[in-house]
Structure 1
Amino acid sequence: MIRDSRRDKAYWDEWTTFLEDSIRKAWERLKQPPGDPNYRPQYVFELANDHYELMLRRYSRGDPVSELSQYFPGLLKAWEESERLGKDVWSDEIQYTRHAWAVNIDHYVRCFWLTGLALTLDIPDEQWQRLLALMGNEGEDALLDRVIASRQPGRPIGDKLCFPKAYQRLLDVVEAPAGQRPQLLRNYLDSWFSSLKNAGSPSFPKDYRTPYWWDFCTDEAVGMKGGYFGCWCIEAVAVAKALTIDDSLCLDHPNYPGDLIQDDRGPRYTDPTLSLESNTKRIEPSRAATQPRSRSWLSRFLLGSDK
């Protein structure tokens, strides 16, 4: 049974298979000489993104949580290769906007999600250390640094939030007495999605201050093109895992991926009621491959599209 009833089983099967195929083909293409060496680092980085999106698609489809960690090695390999190639391509300014949590909300959320997945899936320490090296930003955020420190004692903790509009309520959970945390975590979940709208740095153009996947959750026409991989607040489950919070109040929330902590606790659906209008036509994978899919700030702003 599926975990996300906003799409039916056919959708999850179709687009999970499509992304698995895309990842396989991308690795094959990387064995060939690059067509444009200047784009190669970003192409490989998007391949890393594909791996975590595949984890979330499979989670949404209802697959066993125990099968999700198999994608971490490929994700880390692609990200590391992207960084290696990017040293010779990206300017100092682009390097900063790619990596700095303080300005790049896409990257901050990505790192938060990967931290949450790493903690809940209990990835091996060798992979954890590689992930930390890729994320960097030690001492830059009062919230995410604390979550990371739950597995990495001694990590410097930032003294401010990078994105207070979106994450002050979650920091309040962390700083509250233990007995208040369960209810505060539920309260945060209720505001999580709306709080991310325009929550990014004012140094970015307005169109790039909201995480790239946000429209996939709100715009059915966009989401049904295959971009939608679920609408999961991994930040909340990361905090619950890091602080051992009783999350029973959150388990019925449609955005809470509670099965990541322990499988088969959250709701499952056999006959989903889709919010999509019945006359909306699904785009086939062969056509969807030509549809633009906005991803990271860099690809959206500098490159204009993905692959």
Structure 2
Amino acid sequence: MIRDQRRDEAYFSELLSDLDDALAETQQALDSGEFTSLSEQVDVAQQLYQLAIMRAVSHYSYGSDMASLKSSVLAILPYRQQLSATADKLPAAHQCYRHDFERLGGVGEACGSANVNRYVYALWWLALLVAVGAEKAHIQQALDIIGEQGNDALLDSIASRLVDTDRPMSPTVYYPTVYQPLLDAINSDGEVQAEHLNVFIRQWYDSLEDADWYDNHLCDCEFEYTDYYVGYWCFEASLVASLFCIPANAIREHVMVPVELLNN
């Protein structure tokens, strides 16, 4: 049963087919040497990684069963590993270029995309891994390649709760305007946790105007791969609720909460 209410079943069926084709064709072009410069190869590897995340989100919106969702989620890691491996090939003088793709905080951009996008995608990836029951070793690999140890209090708290128990903890969060209430939920107890989580969910979408996917439901034509509407889901909320034992009933009322992914 379709989970997103802004598009119909036919839309998501076609979208998933398009994303599968885009991933396969772009990967083939990368493998065949069609992209000749290393910087272009890094750009393409970044696009493939983000497309893999978009495909997994689309599977959830479409109503795919957990087996199909899990398959698409586990496929994200190899694309992210490919991005790092491709960036490793850049000459020493150009290694600074890769930071545009690997840094999650600050006001930098890559391919015209604000850093907050990479931050959100990292949290979505972790949320989906938890939701589909990925093995701890797989989650650890994802955390290792995301990096940012000791740089962001929210990511550090989530990673520590997952598998990275010796991780250094930052006292601050990269994007406090959006994510401080989510961190407050983690650092609170009892009913106060749910209160902070609800504050976060209520302002989540409106606070992310810089996200590539913001207002994508209004797009009739797609000019960039980030223009596709894949659904609006506050996966960050389901991740924190699941990891920190916040009752699902406390946040079920919000239409952007992926309730089927709540593990409590």
TM-score by length of 1: 0.75
Number of positions where the alignment pairs a residue of Structure 1 with one of Structure 2: 250
Q: Which has the higher contact order (CA 8 A, sep 6+)?
A: 1
RMSD: 2.2
Pair 1:175 & 2:187 matched:
yes
Could you say if the C-alpha distance between residues 224 and 244 of structure 1 is closer, same or farther in structure 2, counting changes exceeding 3 Å? farther
Question: 2: CA distance between counterparts of 1:160 and 1:97?
Answer: 21
Identity of aligned residues (%): 24
1:243 aligned onto 2:254? no
Q: Give the AA of the match of 1:43.
A: V
1:185 aligns with 2:185: no
Extract unaligned runs of 5+ from structure 2. 107-114
Instruction: Confirm whether residue 221 of structure 1 aligns to residue 224 of structure 2.
Output: no
Check if 1:139 corresponds to 2:150.
yes
**Structure 1 gap segments, 5+ residues each:** 198-209, 266-307
Separation in structure 2 between the aligned mates of residue 75 and residue 175 of structure 1, nearest angstrom: 30
In structure 2, C-alpha distance between the alignment counterparts of 1:87 and 1:94, rounded to whole Å: 11
Which is helix-richer, 1 or 2? 2
Alignment pair present for 1:96 and 2:119: no
Contact 1:192 1:233 in 2 (8 A): yes
C-alpha deviations, 1:17-39, integer Å up to 9, x for none?
11112222233333312332321
Instruction: Kindly state the Cα deviation for residue 246 of structure 1 after the two structures are TM-superposed.
Output: 0.4
The Cα of 1:259 is off from its aligned counterpart by 0.9
1:302 is matched with which residue?
A: none
Deviating above 6 A after TM superposition, structure 1's stretches of 4 or more consecutive aligned residues are 223-226
What is the alpha-carbon distance in structure 2 between the residues aligned to residue 84 and residue 23 of structure 1?
A: 18
Q: Does 1:59 align with 2:71?
A: no
CA distance in 2, matches of 1:58, 1:133: 25
Q: Which moved more, 1:118-127 or 1:21-30?
A: 21-30
Give the Å deviation of 1:256: 0.4
Contact 1:34 / 1:40 at 8 angstroms: preserved in 2?
A: no
Q: 1:252 to 1:65 in 2, by over 3 A?
A: farther
Q: Structure 2: which amino acid aligns with 1:189?
A: I
- Specify the alignment match of 2:109 in structure 1: none
Shift of the 252–63 alpha-carbon distance from structure 1 to 2, 3 Å rule, reads: farther
Distance in 1, matches of 2:220 and 2:25, equals 27
- 1:133 is displaced (CA, Å) by 1.7
**Deviates most, 76-85 or 91-100:** 91-100
